[in-house]
Amino acid sequence: MFRRRRRDEEPEKNLEPTDEETVAAEESEESGSEEEQERAAVSHGGPWDAEADGIPEVERVDFGAIQVPIGENIEIQLNIDGVEQDAEGNPVGGQFVAVTVVYGESGLQVQPFAAPKKSGIWDELREEIAEEIKQAQGETQEAEGPFGTELHAMVPVAIPEEMLDQVPPEIAEQGFGWQPVRFLGVDGPRWFLRGVLQGAALQDEEQARIMEEIFSNVVVVRGDSPMPPRELLELTLPAEAQEAMAQQAGEEEEEDGRSPFNPFERGPEITEVR
């Protein structure tokens, strides 16, 4: 269903590499091959590069640079940035910047980025995200997860004015609350996939497992076009989504005379898209 968004195992010790292992490691560092990146991306079963072998056959929605799994009780929301308003205050324009998968009370925002051919970017990005959150008076901590090193954070979030009377007085007075977030990152061959997980999945193991499975089944379509590292890969609306939106807009207009909604409506972002 498409809907718009409303406002630890320890390493073994005392092991010395053999000569063959040492040579192999040196050659791997020098080559920095795409094959190495691909192996790293799928070592935990995904996310997947579109040209990889063994991609699980599950139903996915094609958004251009990424193909996102769907299933029962899963909703797909589109995050649009740079939205403007027309003379009547209706949202228009905007750039499609992310896909958010919603299951139960959990949300997983997914974004694909270009990456260098011979190295990943998650280590650097993780440090930068942590520094941004720290400057915003938030807290972060690295942890190991099913996709490697993650960043767990407590992010300050502004409380909408209409909700101030629904929170404790001390929280309402400061004007913001704390939201727990998990940042997931996977470096693939010439791409990087980021996931931002929030909601019940941070406490509920079953919802966490489902959201992790969704993330692991995302397929990234990097394409052959040269792009600077960290640039957002192009996301596009699938034809069926455009048709569904047009149909829903027509039905709404017929029902109560309202102007049809514009799907290019900005969704909440955890960090700035650069």
Residue 193, pLDDT score: 98
The token duo for 181 is 């977030």
Contacts with 204 (C-beta within 8 Å, 6 or more apart), sequence order: 104, 106
Q: Tell me whether residue 21 is in a domain.
A: no
124-170 pLDDT tens trace: 999 999 999 999 889 999 999 999 999 999 998 877 777 777 777 76
Evaluate whether residue 257 is within a structural domain: no
| Strand pairing report for 148-158 and 139-145 | antiparallel
Please give the Cα distance from 95 to 81 (Å, whole number).
Answer: 5
Most confident of 5-9, 51-55, 82-86, 160-164: 51-55
Question: Which of 59-63, 147-151, 172-176, 213-217 is predicted with the least confidence, judged by mean pLDDT?
Answer: 172-176
Residue 19: per-residue pLDDT: 42
Which token pair is 265?
A: 């409506």
Domain assignment of residue 137, yes or no: yes
Q: What is the pLDDT of residue 22?
A: 39
The chain-wide mean pLDDT, for the chain, equals 78
Query: pLDDT value at position 65?
Result: 97
pLDDT of residue 41: 45
pLDDT at residue 252, rounded to an integer: 57
On whether residue 267 sits in a domain, the answer given is no
Closest CA relative to residue 220, chosen from 191, 185, 195, 183: 191
Which residue did the predictor score with more confidence, 33 or 149? 149
pLDDT at 267 over 70: no
Inside any domain, residue 20: no
Integer angstrom CA distances of residue 125 from 71, 121, 229, 266: 31, 6, 11, 23
Model's pTM, two decimal places? 0.72
- Higher pLDDT residue, 204 or 164? 204
Domain annotation covers residue 241: yes
- Model confidence band, residue 89 (pLDDT cutoffs 50, 70, 90): low
95-117 mean pLDDT:
95
User: d(Cα 154, Cα 30) in Å, to the nearest integer?
Assistant: 38
Instruction: Tell me what the mean pLDDT of segment 223-235 comes to.
Output: 94
Q: What is the domain extent for residue 245?
A: 38-251
Q: How many structural domains comprise the chain? A: 1
How many whole angstroms separate alpha carbon 178 and alpha carbon 169?
Answer: 15
Q: What is the pLDDT of residue 273?
A: 33
Average pLDDT over residues 83-96: 72
For 60, residues 6+ apart whose C-beta sits below 8 A from its C-beta are 67, 68, 69, 70, 217, 219
Higher pLDDT pick, 32 / 72 = 72
| 199 occurs within a structural domain | yes
Query: Does pLDDT of 123 surpass 70?
Result: yes
Portion of the chain with pLDDT greater than 70, in percent: 67
* Token pair of 210 as six digits: 């489902």
CA distance 118 to 2: 37
Instruction: Assess if residue 233 is contained within a domain.
Output: yes
Which DSSP string do the residues of 146-210 spell out, in sequence order? TTEEEEEEEEEEEPPGGGGGGS-HHHHHHTEEEEEEEEEEEEETTEEEEEEEEEGGGT-HHHHHH
d(CA 67, CA 76) in angstroms, rounded, equals 12
